Each structure stands twice: as structure tokens, then as C-alpha cells.
Amino acid sequence: MRSLWAFPGQGSQRKGMGDELFDRHQALVRRADEILGYSLRRLCLEDPDGVLGQTRYTQPALFAVSALSFIEKRDAGETLPAIFAGHSLGEFNALFAAGAFDFETGIALVDKRGRLMTDAPRGAMAAVIGLDQERVASLIAASPFDRIDLANINAADQIVISGDYDQIAACETLFTGAGGRFVRLNVSAAFHSRFMRDVEREYADFLAGFDLKPLEHPVIANRTARPYPKTGYRDLISEQISHPVRWYESMSWLLAHGLETFAEVGPGTVLSGLFAKIRRTPMTLPASAASSPAASSAVATEVAATGAQTQAGPKIVFMYSGQGSQYYAMGKELYENNPVFRAAMDDCDTIYRAQTGRSMVVELYDPANRHRELSDVMLSHPALYSLGYALTQALIDAGIRPDAVLGYSLGEYVAATVSGAMRFEDALRMVMRQAELVRERASGGGMLSVMTPVEHLHRHPQLYAGCILASVNFDGNFVISGGIETLRALKRALDAESILSVLLPVEHSFHSPAMDAIEGEFRRFLAGVEMGAPNVPAYSSMSATRVERFDAEHFWNVIRCPVEFHKLVGEISGSETCRFIDLSPTGALSTFIKYGYGGRVAHAASMNQFGRDTATLAKLRSDFVV
């Protein structure tokens, strides 16, 4: 990664740009004019209508000038760099330079992007200068401004915020009072925020009509702050619209990997100035920050491309748990100390906030909730999904990648995401919709974990009358579902027999007929979600087999049918040597293997309820990475 060519984004445009290029590339300029329906030369050199600064016109004009600048350098015989990058809009130039598409396609893509962003709902953006990312984020989290996101992390002390027009207008003193400077930006919408989700989806549909070629050169992605995969990168382009530009992290990652020379290609020197600043104070990254962090498509691509570790050895299986393992403050230490984990949790929180108006992260890590039971399914469901997803990014970043994934109940959504069968946004919305329906139509139940062999249930059917077997975790533990009063009565009866049982922090009877009340509506929702075959082997605790394809039928059965975890682990470990890593918040799945299989099956937990998660992650890395 010795050399980089970087392309600027919106804001670097100026009247007169491209003057020396248009005459030398007349054929390409004519083609651009045909696609755009107006004169590119006249717009850039004269701007008679004063529209060059408007997003609709800025984006194709800036792309064209930067693309022609690249062509000039390339055709003059300059040695191409080791890697390309672009800031926001400039990423399209980086992809063009890397061979993803031709000049004409690039013009069409950015023209559509500019039009959609121009028509986006009213919003605003502002630059906060002099405060770092954590300070800006903490100020927002502690304020009443719940419709503001971080949009660009440009340098250690240069953060751009984006969001609701009125809240951006009102929040200036929040940052100036903390010692920062506040500069409103001349834009009409909340770019790179949750408020661009509809634009992202429409642009993704448009992008689907184009053939994207394998990249011939590496490109660093704004979305992940790591290199694009060579193929299968379409989602990263559209997702950039509604996610932060992680420029500071991108450049810091490159510097950590030996970047020496930086060249800005296109009008202006904004990126050159940022790079000089970042070189002086780069972001502190995890020692192993060579992997892709929190982009679902990038995670699946990297896992599929690299397998687990490069050395031969036992298969590594990531395991994800479901309801009953949640608690307030789960993952808090990692959120505060691991930037990859935090970025993934924040990505999930953005979706959660947009849909509920609440902040999952704020509620989860509020000290006032520390000793409360986390039983609100509208928080516990998405929080469990988000934690498993974020832990995956942290482990991958630490150099631990799965050869396969295993889902237990709700954990099957995380497994499907990590396997590449579906986008993390879609999976999280499925989890939230399921929670909403369960709360509305299937409340009033519960789940009881019983510490005795399941044969006890079969020998005493009258004792368990009104209850349904929900899961078998190991020879000496099973879980049942039922009405809460029925479960309490059963617990008293079991106590009388000196059989230990524990009511789980769950207010619903999952894996039982109680779920039938949501079947029709949930199936209709599932029918509209895109999912498919996994790229990484995925195993279901519901079917106790490998999943060939995730579909609506599968996910309905996940919530309705019992869990056969003990049987599944036996099937997997009986056919090949495996090491199971538990990505649940309690380490419960690892405990099930411990008591179910003793020392015959290797396993490890990635966190627990007693803290020291950073040390646990470091220990995993030392044990699993050679």
C-alpha cells in the first residue's frame, strides 16, 4: 500500500474546473453531454444559471472532471498507485479508475445519484471542528437531539453531522459550548444519514441494472474503511448513501499498512490537507485491523473468500444465541474500547432509531438500567441481533474468521447475515418486525429453563401439562414455553422435587403454539425480504442440519418449532473436528457444549456477564490466530 490516488467529493467543485481537459477529450465530453442532456463544458466553465453548486449538477460535473484528470495521468504513462480512494462522490472515480465501469456508465451513475439526493427529504448538515468523534457522539447521545447522525469522520477533530433540519439548526450551542466550532453546510438534505434510507433503496434498484466488473486495482471503501472485495461489491456503493464516510479511519488504516505517497486527482486540495493532518495524528486502530469491519456484504465476502485462518486446522464455527441471554450493559466495555464493535453497533442503532425513535445503544448502556431485567422484546430482540453482529466484526478484525456459522433461535438471523444469505439491514428489520408482532399479539407467556434430563418431561406429562418443549440444550437441560402462571406453578412443583429451574427474562412463549397468532402477518412480511443461499456454511438449531437456503418458511419455523441444539452440535462435531466460538452475551452456548460433550468438543466464549470482554477477545486471538 505504498501509494494512493484519491478523488475529492462534493464541495471541491469550482467554476472553471476542467478548462484544460475538455478540448483534449472532446469525444468523452460529447458522450457525457448526450447522457446528461446539457453541456458539461458550459456548466463547468461558465455556469450561466448559477447551478454548479447544486447537487444535481455538481455530482456529474465533478465526476467528469476528476475522471478526465485520471485519464490524463494514466495516458501520460504515470505509474498507477497501489490503491485508489475517493471521498463520498469521489469513490465513484476510484471505482472507475479501478475498472468497475467505463466513463459513460460512471456519468449515468452519478447523474442518477445526484438527482435522487437532490429530491431527498429536507435535511441539513454541519461541520463540527475541534472535537473528536467520541465527544461529538456523546454530546448528541446525551442531548434531546435524537434525529442527528454522524455523517463524515474526516479527521480526528473534523466531524460532519447530518439530520433533521430543525435539529441541526438548533444544536450549535451543544458543540460550541464544549469548545468546538460549528459550520453549517450548504446542502438541502441529510446526506450519509439514516434519513437517506429510501434514497439508498431506490439507488440500489437503479444500480442493479448495470454490469459491474471485477476490480483490477484495490479501492478503499467509505462504507467499511477497508478495501472493496474484487467482486460482489454492489451493496457497498448504494449503502454509502446512508452511512458515514469513514475517511479518517480509511487513511489511518492505509498509513498503518505502509502508505507513503498521497496524490489528489481532480479539482482542489481538500483531501491533501486532510491527509497531512491525519498523518500527524492517525486514528489508533486495533493491532490486527487488517480485516473488514461493519458492512454485512463485505463481511460475508471476506469470510467466504478467506475461510477461517490461513493455516490448516479444525473448522471454526461461530454460534449465535437467542432470547434469554440478554441483559442491560451487555457489550458495554467493547462499545467503549473497540472501534470496530462500536461502529457495527452504531450501524444497527441507526436503523433502530429510524424505525422506533429510540436509541438502542443509549437504553442498553444507560447506567440507570444496569440492574433491571431486559425483558422488553422491542429492545431485547434487536439488541441481541446487534450484539452478535457487532461481535462478529470485532472477531474478524482480530483475525478470527468462521468456516461456518450456527444459529440458535433468534441467532439464526445473525448466522444468515454473516453467511451472506441476506443484508444486515434486512435481517435487523425482520427481527424488529417479529418483536413488534409478538408484543402485540403473543404476550403473556414465558420460558422456563429446567436443569434435568428431558426424559423427566416425558415421564411426567401431567406435571408439564399446558407447557411445550421449546429446546434441548444438553443432556441435563431443556427449556419449556407456556403461560406465565403455568410456568410459575411448575417451578414450585420442580422446587419441591429439588429440580433446579430458572424463569428466563422473556415475556413470550417462543417455539410454541402461542406464536401462531403472528404467523400470517409475519409470513407476509418475510415474503418481501430478499434472502437466499449462504456463501459460508450455515447450520440451524431448529432443523439440526445445514441450511441450503434461507427463506420465509425457514424463518417461520425458527420462531415456531423447538430448538435441537444438543443434537446439532453432535451432528457437526461427529463428522469433522470443530472449534465452536460462542458469540452470545452470556457464553451460554459454550456452557451447553461443556456440559453436553465435556472435553470431546472444543469451545470458547467471546464474552460473559462479568466484564473483561476486551481481555477475553485478546485471549481468543492468542488461542485462535497463529
Positions marked catalytic: 88, 192
Q: Note whether 266 and 93 are within 8 A (CB).
A: yes
Q: Note whether 190 and 162 are within 8 A (CB).
A: yes
- Comparing C-alpha atoms, which of 558, 534, 559, 555 is closest to residue 546? 534
Sign for the CA dihedral angle at 386, 610, 502, 415 comes to positive
d(CA 411, CA 433): 15
Q: What letter does residue 577 receive in the DSSP assignment?
A: -
Q: What letter does residue 286 receive in the DSSP assignment?
A: -
Return the number of other C-beta atoms located less than 10 Å from residue 66's C-beta: 33
- Comparing C-alpha atoms, which of 447, 455, 467 is closest to residue 513? 467
Q: Note whether 83 and 142 are within 8 A (CB).
A: no
Single-letter code of the amino acid located at 288: S
Return the number of other C-beta atoms located less than 10 Å from residue 237's C-beta: 24
* Percentage helix, strand, coil for the chain under 3-state DSSP, each rounded to 5: 50, 15, 35
The three-state DSSP-derived secondary structure of 60-113 is HHHHHHHHHHHHHHHHCCCCCCCEEEECCCHHHHHHHHCCCCCHHHHHHHHHHH
Single-letter code of the amino acid located at 406: L
Return the number of other C-beta atoms located less than 10 Å from residue 455's C-beta: 10
**DSSP letters along 435-454, please?**
HHHHHHHSBSEEEEEE-S-T
Return the number of other C-beta atoms located less than 10 Å from residue 602's C-beta: 17
Residue 463: half-sphere exposure toward Cβ, Cα within 13 Å: 18
Q: Is residue 269 helix, strand or coil?
A: coil
Q: Note whether 468 and 590 are within 8 A (CB).
A: no
Cell readout for 500 is 433446579
Q: Is 179 left (phi over 0), alpha (psi -120 to 50) or beta?
A: left
Q: Map grid coordinates 445473525 to a residue.
A: 414
Q: Is residue 158 helix, strand or coil?
A: strand
Q: Is residue 121 helix, strand or coil?
A: coil
Sign for the CA dihedral angle at 404, 409, 413, 414 comes to negative
**DSSP letters along 183-226, please?**
EE-S-SB-TTSGGGHHHHHHHHHHHTTS-PPPPSS-BB-TTTSS
Instruction: Enumerate helices (H) and strands (E) in the chain, giving the number of each.
Output: 27, 17
Cell readout for 490 is 411448575
Cell readout for 604 is 470458547
**Which residues have a Cβ under 8 Å from the Cβ of 364 and sit 6 or more positions away?**
328, 329, 330, 331, 332, 379, 383
If residue 318 lies in a helix (H) or strand (E), which one and from where to where? Answer: strand 315-320
